[in-house]
Amino acid sequence: MSRARGLPAATVAGGVLLAVANHLGRTYGSTPAERAAALPGDEIVPRPSAVTDHAITIAAEPGEIWPWLVQMGWGRAGWYTARWVDRLLFPANGPSADRIVPELQDISLGTFIPDGPPHTECGLIVEGLEPERALVLHSTTHLPLSWREHASADWSWVFVLTPLPAGGTRFHFRSRWVTSPWWLTAAAALALVPADFLMSRDMLRGVKQRAES
């Protein structure tokens, strides 16, 4: 009997944890005004099934942060996430760079930014580039090759740097995506949004730590 009574409580607790994780996955660090703002690249996925907004304040100027952003990518400078997260979720990822790499600074519109080993054919295309202000990336390849005939994921990322009147910079990262069919959309809502909180939080903190040091 006690076990039966415990099941509803566990279900409620699990539901609360999932709701909290989902909320953080969509809003971590961002303000209501930031979430409501129109950003470069929003038009790439005009009717998204999910939108996430994450932000952090960095004690550095946009020009000091920008070089860290343009060198990101798999096999490039990495994504500045915690090493244990990479080992757990993306074992093929190497450690992220802790220095600015001059040879990775020359991206332009149309540049392909890998997000996995070459055989995965996974990555993002530079769709918008406003130096020291905004970097827009777009992907339709963030699914295993064997899935792509039966499912799709259209995904945009934008990284925006806004100088603050008192000094420093607001770093805002937004992702928008639409998926199909229904089972992929449901799985993304249950798993991808909470995971996005973990990865995005680490990325923002990683950029902040590097730019401030």
pLDDT of residue 13: 47
| Contact (Cβ atoms closer than 8 angstroms) between residue 207 and residue 65 | yes
Round to whole Å and give the CA distance between 60 and 179.
36
| The total number of structural domains that make up the chain | 1
**Where residue 97 falls among pLDDT bands split at 50, 70, 90?**
very high
pLDDT of residue 154: 93
State pLDDT tens for residues 13-61: 444 544 555 556 677 899 999 999 999 999 999 999 889 999 999 999 9
Round to whole Å and give the CA distance between 154 and 28.
22
State pLDDT tens for residues 139-148: 999 888 888 8
Round to whole Å and give the CA distance between 88 and 77.
19
**Quick one: average pLDDT of 122-142?**
96
Q: Average per-residue pLDDT in the chain?
A: 86
CATH number at residue 98: 3.30.530.20
pLDDT surpassing 80 at residue 91: no
pLDDT of residue 182: 86
pLDDT of residue 93: 75
Q: Quote the domain boundaries for residue 45.
A: 2-212
**Quick one: average pLDDT of 67-96?**
85
**Where residue 92 falls among pLDDT bands split at 50, 70, 90?**
confident
**CB burial readout 15-47, b (16+ within 10 A) else e:** eeeeeebbebbbbbbbeeebbeeebbbbebbee
pLDDT of residue 4: 56
